Every structure is written in C-alpha cells, then in structure tokens.
Structure 1
Amino acid sequence: MAGKTFLKSTLAISLLLIVLTFSATAHAKIIYVDADAAGANNGSSWPDAFNYLQDALSDAYSGEEIHVAKGTYKPDQGSGVTPGDPEATFQLINGVTIKGGYAGLGEPDQNARNIQLYETILTGDLDGDDVDANDPRDLLDEPTRSENSYHVVTGSGTDETAVLDGFTITGGNSNGDFSPNWKGGGIRNYLGSPTLTNCTITRNSSWLEGGGMFNVGSPMLMLTNCTFSNNYSDYSGGGMYNTGRYSNVTLINCTFSGNFADYEGGGLYSGYSKYNSPKLTNCAFTGNTSGARAGGMYNTGDSTLTNCTFTGNSADWEAGGMFNDGSSPTLTNCTFIGNSAGENGGAIYNFGPFGTPTLTNCTFSNNSADNGGGIYCIHESNMTVTNCIMWGNMATQGNEIALNNFWDEGILYPATITVRYSDVEGGVSEVFVDTGCTLNWDDGNIDDDPCFVQPGYWDANGVWVDGDYHILADSPCVDAGDPNYIAEPNETDLDGRPRVIGGRIDMGAYEYMPSIPAEARILPRTINLASKGKWITCYIRLPEGYTVADIDPNSVFLQDEVKPESLLLNEQQQVATARFSREDVQPILKAGEVELKITGRLTDGTVFEGTDMIKVINKAGKK
C-alpha cells in the first residue's frame, strides 16, 4: 500500500513539474525598459521598468523578451559599462528577443506597439551633442561625433535566435585607430547571425567598412523590413558590408537609400569570395552613391535578387546600379531605372572570368554611362538576358549594351552576352561589340517601343522624376517572352501578380494585367456646355475583393486625359469620389449621349476601368 502511495505521489510530482515547465515555456518572462520609469526599476512592469537597456540585457536569459518603450537609449548607460566609453555597445543575446516601439508610461495603453509612432532609438551619440550632417560624407569627421560609439549594436557570436525588432539605430561612428573599431558604425557582426526586423539603420559612419552594418562570417543573418539610409563608409559598404566565406545574408523587403561609400558599394558591398552569396527579395536601392564602383550593390558571389529595384544610384567610375565581380548572380523581375556611371555600366557592370550572370524579366531604362548605358561586360564575363526590356538608356558607346575585351600580358579576354526574347531599343545597332567579343542575338528579340505607362525623366533642375514602367495593353512586349517559359508555382512579377497571364510570359518586370471593371456614376447626369457650373463628380466602386484604399491618386483620369482636382477614398462605404473641374472637362465633350470613361491603377499595378452614359447639351438660358 505504501508503495502504491509513493508511486502516485511520484507521478503527481512529475506531472506538476511538466505542467510548470510547459507554463514557463508558454509564458516567457518579459523584461520592461522605459527611460521615464520611476518605480523599483527592476524590469518587472512598465511602472517598475529598467531605465537603461543595458540593465535589461544583463538580466535577460534565453527564452525571454525585452520590451522597450519609446525614447532614446545609449550603450554607455547602465550596468557593466563605463559612461563615455566608445567601446560600449548593445550586445545581442541568443534566445532573447528585444522589441522596441512600445507606448510605455504616459500613454493610455502602455503595451500598445507602433514603431513609427513610438520610435525607439539606440544611439551612439554618447554626449548628446551630435550636429546633423546634410551630406553623409561629413558624418565621419564631424567634431561632435568624435566621441560616439564605435558600434551601437553588436551581434557577434550570436545565432538566428538573437532578435532585434523595431528600433532606429543611429549615431555610430567607427573612427577608431585599430580593428575592429573602424568597421560597422551602426551594427557589427563577427561570426554572428542575428535576426533583425523592422529596424532603421541611419546616419552611421565608419573609417573603413560598413558605415551602417558590418558582417563577417554570418551564414544565417536575416533582415526583414529594414531600412539603411544616409550611412557613410570611407572605403566600402556605405549601408552594409558583408564579407567572409559563406556569409550568406538574407534580405527581405529591405531598402537602401542615400548611402555613400568612397570606394565600392554605396548601398551594399558583398564581397571576398564566390561563396558569399546573399539572397535579396523585394529590396530597393535608391539614390546610393559610390566614389568608384557600384553605387547600389557590389557583388562577388552567386547572389539571387528577386523583385528588386535599382533607381537613381550613381558611381564615379563604374556600375551605377550593380557591379558583378567574377560572379554569377541571378536577377528576376528587377528594374534598373535612372542609374548612372561616369565611365562604364550605367546600370550593371560585369567583370571577370567564370562569371555567368543571368537576367530574366528585368527592365532597364534611362540609365547612362560613357560605355554601356544599360549593361557593360568585360574580361570573359558571359551574361544571358531573357524576357527583358532595355529602352532609353544612354551612352557614348553602346546605349543599351557594350562588350569590351580585356588585355593582360598580351592575352585577350573577351566578353560574351546572349540576348533572347527581349525588347532592345535600336536592336543590334545599339550593342557595341569590341574585337573578339561575342554577341549571341537569339530568337524572339524585338525593337519596338515597349509602351511604358509613363517613363521617368530628368527635370530642368537635374532632379529625377519617377515614372511608371508597367506596360500598356497595346505594348508589343505583352505575350512576347520565351514561349517555352514555364512559371514556377505561385510565381509573380514585381507587383506580386501572377507571372503568366494569357498563356505566354510578357517581357519586362511587370506582367500586363487586363483591367478590372469598376462601377462609375457621374453627376450631373446632364451637362450643359453653356452653363457655368464648377464641378463634375464621379463616384467609383471596385469589384468585390478590391479596396478603394489601394487606388493610386495620381493614376486616376477621365477620358485618359483629365486629372481630378480631388480624390476622396471612403473605406467604410468603399466609394472613391473624384471631382473634376468642369472647365477642364467641357472642352472634350460634344452634345449628345456621351459615354465617359474613368480609369486608374491600384498600388499593386492592377488597372481599373469604368464607364457611364451622360447627356451633353449646349443650350443657353433665356434672356
């Protein structure tokens, strides 16, 4: 009897331990940080939150979360650090998730989270006296930044379970005299692969590499929804520097804008070896600059870029958009618009033996360079271009493509390119082929205006005005791609729409999608051309499954030419109200029963069209 009792007791204790263990796992400890908290400051709640993030990191163990309220936090404040020490840094921890963007004290809902509204800043400005620099190139030597942290955040030695989510990282200045304090102003990862989500890395600088972020030997590093803006490197990798064998960073929905590197990779430098092959999906490179090569991205590996855009990047020497050094990247559904290089390769520069870059369904327009306004290939580079549009690029030699040989100690190293099922302005005549180089002009190529919705352009002040590079219904690029192309399951174009519509793939980054029917109701029902009314109003309803909130206000037109004076989007009623000036509309009307057409585009590129019949008269009133 005693044995049975002992057995029951043992089982009960075991079950209790299992329940307690499960409960602890299911409800991980949350540590709170709020600079305004005035309670016990032990991190147990918002009123008793730690004031300093360093205190929370010292208290955290694997499986726990740290919630940080809006405000500014410095790495030299709290336990384990010395005030004013530029080597102080926020060291990430395996198994610990750090989340910013919480409302914290003073707000109705302290647990509300909005990373824009409740911005949480990790800053390297230890003295709190940084003077803002209009030009990122001035960040490194700005006197008020001389004492700043060498690295605001450090992910060295971590794996993907170390998570940083919802922070602005700024004010890092890697201006030290020795390594590692001259690399990675914002974030430094040495043999570390943390996970970053919803972070903005801005206005950081480095003397050598990685103004915003420096990574070496980071095989599992993943960034999602992150922005690198206005960072500076005195050498390479203004936004991010990625190096080391098998340092395969994954970037999803990330933006690189306004970054600068004096040498290579204004936005992103990914180098060292062929095995350093980042994977980029839905990323944008805009307005980045390099003093030598690769305004947007420098690449030495077999990188994969899907649904990425390169717009308005520049390099003083070569590769305004992307420099491929002996590498074999695969680019799909990408656009290169308005990039420039002082010498070669306005959009892309391919260099080196064994490199076999592949471009599929990409669009190149308004890129410029001395040689190869769109694409430049040299030194045995062997590129394949399929289902692409190359239109309106500019160069002294080879507006669209230039192939150059490379002499080394009396040996000729020619370049090769294969173009198939692509729309190239000027055809073969706009491809420069140097001695010994090979142009394979395969089946399906055309030389016809692709009929972009609205090409971009440079205004009188030298400012780039964005265009719309979707193709219209009458574009010769519709259903003109490789007839043998078979789309992968759930494959999409740059807009995220199904890649093949109509049985055959289109050329370019955007698949043409027939317009969806919209319901249009125009008032007044009778328009008197002799009257002096002020407005003509059109009410628009979209089909089920679409929302008026997605209408691009700049895309709405009446009769393809009159823009509305105002557009109101009522999401509750799902009605868009477009008001047109009668003065603008009446000149295009004639008396009689008239069908008016309203058109527009959603943010995903879907076109809508609706019509309505009205009566038009021209009858003056009695005198």
Structure 2
Amino acid sequence: MRTLTVFACGALMFGWAAGAEATTWYVPSQCPNIQAGIDSAAAGDTVLVADGTYTGDGNRNIDFLGKAILVTSENGPAVTIIDCESVDRAFFFQNDEDSSSVLRGFTITNGNASYGGAIRCDFGSSPTIEGNTITGNYSTDGGGGIYLEYGSPTIVDNAIAGNTSLWHGGGIHSYDASPRILGNTIQSNSADDPTWECYGGGIYCEYGSPVIVGNTITENTVDYLGGGIYCDGVSGIIRGNVITLNVADNLDDDCYGGGIYEEDSPSLLIEYNTIMGNVADWCGSGIASYSSSSTIEDNTIIGNIDTDFGGGIYCEFSNPTIRGNTVAGNCGYYGGGIYCGASSPLVEGNLVSGNESGYGGGVFCDFGSDPSFAGNTIAENLATHDGGGMYCYWSEPTVVNCIFWGDSAGSGNGQEVYLDWDSVINIDYSDIQGGSPGVYVVPGCTLYWGVGNINSNPLFVTGPLGDYYLSQIAAGQGTDSPCVDAGDPGSAVPAGGTTRTDRVADALPVDMGYHYPTNRPPDLVDQPDTTVAENEYLTFTLEVSDPEGDSISFSSPDLPGGATLKR
C-alpha cells in the first residue's frame, strides 16, 4: 500500500461571512472613524474602510466591544493605513471577542504602547487577525507588534516586520495563551534593551499551547535568548516554518538559540522546519534546548553558526528526542552539529554531516551526558582539534546501528570518536571507520566494542533526497553496501524509511545508518481566496502524486454558502 504524507504550511480556514440581515458601515463616508463604525455595527455586520491614512481619536486604541463583526479595508493594507503617530496602539481586544471578530487588511504603523505596540489581545479575547501589515511599532514592555494574554487568537497571513520591544517578543509576545500563528512573515523585529535580558526577537511564548505553523521567521534579533522563537513552559507545536538569519547576540552576555530557544517545555513538538543561517553568540545557533524534553523531529538544520557550543542543536540539562533531522554545515567550537551538556537525549535516525568545530565536528557529549545514538549517519564532519565525528568528555553514550565515516580531526586523534576524562562508550552493530582503533581512548576512559561492528566503506550513493543512500543491487547499483541488513536484529525498521535510491522501504533486518523518508511532503501552490456566495457550495480537490508518479486526490466535503476558503 502506498502512503503519502501531506503537509501544508498554510492554513485552511473558513472565514467570516455576513448573513442576510447584515449591514455594511462605510468609513469615512458614513462613519467618521473606525471606532464610530464599530460602535454602529451589530453582530454579523461589516465595517468597510476606504483607502487612506487614518489618525487621531477613533482611529487608535480601537475596541471591538466584543462584537462578532468584520472590520476590513476596501483595497488592502498597501492603501489603508492606521498611523498611531507614536501615541498609542491601534487595536485593543478586551471584551471576550472570538474568531468571528475579524480584523483584516490594514497597515498598522507608529504604534507606541506598553504590551502590544500595534495590537493587544487580553482577558481571553480570541479574534482573527488576518492579512495585515504590522510594521514600525514599539512597545516598552512586551510585543512590539502584537501582545497576547490568555485566549486563543488566530494570527494568519500577516506581515509583522520592523517592530521593536524593549522587553520580550519583538514581533509577537504570547503569555499563557494558545494562539494559532499561521502563514505569517515575521521579519526584522527586535527585542533589545541594554538594561534587561530580552527574549524572543520574532516570537515570545510563555506557558500556553501555541501553534506556530507555516511562517517565515527571518532576520529577527534579540539580545539574549531566542532570535527567532522563544518558548518557556509551553506545550505547543512549531511546524513547517522557515526560520532563517535570526540572531541572538549581546556583547556583554552569553546568548542562546539563534533560531529557537526552548525551556521547560516537555510537550513541545518542533518538526518539519527549515532552520538555516541563524547565529547565536554562545550556544545553539539552530535550536537551544534547556531543561526540556521536547521532540525535535524531521527538521532541516543547516548552516547555523555560533562561537562556542552546538552549532545545530544545543542541549543543556535536557532529554529531548532528536529524530529524523538533517543537521548539516553548522559550526560551533564544541559540537558543530549537536552538543549535549548534562543531557541524555535520544538521538535517532539523523543525518549529521559536513559540520565543523574545534572539538566534536559532528557531536560533543559533555559533563555527565548519557545520550543514546541509534540509526544515525555521522559523516564528513571536521574537528580542527580532536573527535571528527564525536568527542566525549566525562560522558557515557551508547551507539547502535550507526555509521561513522569520512570524519576528520586536525590533530589526527579520534578521526571518528574521541574519548576524554572518564568517558565510557558502548558501540554495537555500527560501521566505524578504522574499527576500534578509530576510537581514540584517553587513559581512564573505556571503549566497549560490542557485537556486530564493522569497518567497511559504506558505499554511499546519491539519491533523490541526498548523498547518503546505501549502494544496493536491488536499487540499480553494482554492489551492495556492507551496511545493508547489518543492523541489530532486534531493532525495528524506521517507519517509512529507506536507504535505497529507488525509495523502496527498508525491511528487517534493519540497515545501518540514516534512513531517508520514502515519501516527502509535497510543495503546495497558493491559490487565490475563493468566496462562496449565499446559497452556493464549493468542493475543492487536492491532487498530488506519490513517489512512483501515480496520482492521488482528496476532495473536501461541500462548504456551506457564505463561507470563504482561505489557503
């Protein structure tokens, strides 16, 4: 049976639709300002705002008054501007608004307020904020662009750019809320104050269950923790985002998490993101995990750079599950790809390649860490000193079903693995270049060279998704890799995983090393918004093909009349 994984980076929404008795209130031809339009409106009405720049009383600190109404521009944010003139914010939702209170299609700029420079949602209010440009706003406390407290607002398809907070959340600050943050561009926001430690250049989340899906989070800056996203005590989802070129940097403090910083978040799921080119001036330029046991799964973590620990992933006092990621081309002085400090993560089914460091080009295990490595390929990493593939300092990792090959160390010591300071390592059913002599053991350390290990060229070949498939006659190559069917007989095969260039799934006995997915999520093309008129219906069909080129389609149920289908 063929299986298709469909992953959408946008949001599918049923927008607000006016009923038969609804009234449209026109600003400024009928109502002099936006607040006057809202004051006049009843549930189901629309406040339609003409092109222009709106300033002064009635056009700032606007209150929806708990009404289920649509406040929208006539022709979009480029020509409909709310200029707060650095006096206050534009909107304050504070009366139990729900998703039927919709704000759409404005540019909001020059807001200046504590807690939400442009928009504040408080007291459990949960409006829909859609299709706006929120730029050049300023908050003395949290949320240069948007501040959320409690509630479950939907923030979708907005451009949130160039906002500043003197505390946390340059773009968005969420406190004990469960927002849906979907398909936004969150760019060039900053959380920076020379007298405070600030968190979350792009997004700050403390407590709650945020859903952060399909956003572009780029070029945001913070002076301490979380250039792109900061999470503390949350149980949400970070999925399918492009998190790139964010910076955590401060000349006076050690900074963590250029892309993502997460702390005390045992149920946080971080998956299917592209985390690329982020910078932290200390630890975890891609992802920094502190005192957490989150799941970090199926991400592409590439080209992140920091000055010290864990260029790709940094773990401190953490036991996350790190599964199915590509960790490549990252740099950090201790652990170019992954750093574990006093941590015992499960590191399973990852590709760790082309990373660089001083010590531990692929992985650095430090200070009482006991990580478990299973089914990884750790290849072609570079340490300018010791431990090209892995460096262990006072740690006890276990390794099974892994490939360590083509790594290098400038000192010549531990091209693949280097053990230091009372470290102990157990290796079984793995392909280690150089065999047991390829593991450099400092006196006082212990290597347990178990069963099923080999020292044979794995015969990597290039396939549809990368360069670390295994040569297999059944897939069309001339010879079989020695790693095929050479894993632990008691190990399960990764679900939907393959080492074959023809994408046929692996079967027992399991192959050593990283398994590519047999199916990759398709790229979805945006379609125009479609509004269904009264008494009409719409059915939509998603058509994709599986790896063999066969067509697969999915049709929705009919949508009710008066609904709007959004991507």
TM-score, normalised by the number of residues in structure 2 = 0.67
Whether contact under 8 Å (1:155, 1:193) holds in the other structure is no
| Amino acid in structure 1 at the alignment position of 2:301 | F
CA shift digits 1:61-98 (9 cap, x unpaired): 24447475597877657577998534343023555342
SS at match of 1:429: helix
Structure 1 Cα separation of the partners of residues 427 and 459 of structure 2:
20
Within a 5 Å distance, the mapping from 1:39-188 to structure 2 comes to 44=70, 46-47=72-73, 55=91, 57=93, 61-64=97-100, 66=102, 68-69=104-105, 76=112, 85-87=138-140, 88-92=144-148, 94-101=150-157, 120-125=158-163, 151-159=170-178, 162-179=179-196, 182-188=198-204
Residue 238 in 1 paired to residue 258 in 2? Answer: yes
Instruction: Select which of 420, 438, 442 maps to 2:446.
Output: 438
Residue 302 in 1 paired to residue 319 in 2? Answer: yes
CA shift digits 1:506-536 (9 cap, x unpaired): 01112799xxxxxxxxxxxxxxxxxxxxxxx
SS at match of 1:382: coil
In the TM superposition, residue 418 of structure 1 has moved relative to its aligned partner by 1.0
Residue 357 in 1 paired to residue 390 in 2? Answer: no
Tell me which structure has the larger Cα radius of gyration: 1
Structure 2 Cα separation of the partners of residues 351 and 392 of structure 1:
23
Whether contact under 8 Å (2:109, 2:137) holds in the other structure is no
Whether contact under 8 Å (2:485, 2:510) holds in the other structure is yes
Structure 1 Cα separation of the partners of residues 514 and 212 of structure 2:
28
Whether contact under 8 Å (1:30, 1:65) holds in the other structure is no
Instruction: Select which of 216, 219, 239 maps to 2:232.
Output: 216
In the TM superposition, residue 436 of structure 1 has moved relative to its aligned partner by 1.2
CA shift digits 1:224-266 (9 cap, x unpaired): 11121101111221112222x4454211211210001111111
Partner of 1:268: 287
In the TM superposition, residue 331 of structure 1 has moved relative to its aligned partner by 1.5
Partner of 1:292: 308
Structure 1 Cα separation of the partners of residues 449 and 469 of structure 2:
25
| Amino acid in structure 1 at the alignment position of 2:299 | C
CA shift digits 1:299-340 (9 cap, x unpaired): 02111011111010001x211011101111112210001001
SS at match of 1:223: strand
Residue 252 in 1 paired to residue 271 in 2? Answer: yes
Whether contact under 8 Å (2:484, 2:512) holds in the other structure is yes
Residue 385 in 1 paired to residue 391 in 2? Answer: no
| Amino acid in structure 2 at the alignment position of 1:307 | G
Within a 5 Å distance, the mapping from 1:340-489 to structure 2 comes to 340-342=356-358, 344-353=359-368, 355-369=369-383, 370-379=385-394, 381-395=395-409, 396=411, 397-405=413-421, 414-454=422-462, 468-473=467-472, 474-487=480-493
Structure 1 Cα separation of the partners of residues 324 and 482 of structure 2:
22
Within a 5 Å distance, the mapping from 1:586-601 to structure 2 comes to none
Structure 2 Cα separation of the partners of residues 65 and 224 of structure 1:
26
In the TM superposition, residue 183 of structure 1 has moved relative to its aligned partner by 2.1
In the TM superposition, residue 60 of structure 1 has moved relative to its aligned partner by 6.6
Whether contact under 8 Å (2:232, 2:265) holds in the other structure is no
TM-score, normalised by the number of residues in structure 1 = 0.61
| Bigger relative CO (Cα 8 Å, ≥ 6 apart) | 2
Whether contact under 8 Å (1:32, 1:56) holds in the other structure is no
In the TM superposition, residue 190 of structure 1 has moved relative to its aligned partner by 2.7
Closer/same/farther in 2, CA of residues 30 and 508 from structure 1, 3 Å limit: farther
Whether contact under 8 Å (1:265, 1:294) holds in the other structure is yes
In the TM superposition, residue 472 of structure 1 has moved relative to its aligned partner by 1.3
SS at match of 2:230: strand
SS at match of 2:91: helix
Residue 281 in 1 paired to residue 281 in 2? Answer: no
CA shift digits 1:452-486 (9 cap, x unpaired): 1149xxxxxxxxxx951111101111111111223
Partner of 1:547: 549
CA shift digits 1:340-368 (9 cap, x unpaired): 102x1101101122x32111111011101
Partner of 2:31: none
Partner of 1:600: none
RMSD, aligned α-carbons: 3.9
Gaps of 5+ in 2: 1-18, 20-42, 83-88, 122-134, 250-254, 473-479, 519-544, 553-567
Whether contact under 8 Å (1:33, 1:69) holds in the other structure is no
Q: Give me the identity figure in percent.
A: 28
CA shift digits 1:185-237 (9 cap, x unpaired): 1112233432111112111111122222222222x132111121101111221
Partner of 1:608: none
Closer/same/farther in 2, CA of residues 345 and 444 from structure 1, 3 Å limit: same
Q: How many residues align?
A: 427
Closer/same/farther in 2, CA of residues 51 and 471 from structure 1, 3 Å limit: same
Structure 1 Cα separation of the partners of residues 172 and 500 of structure 2:
34
Greater percentage in helix? 1
SS at match of 1:314: coil
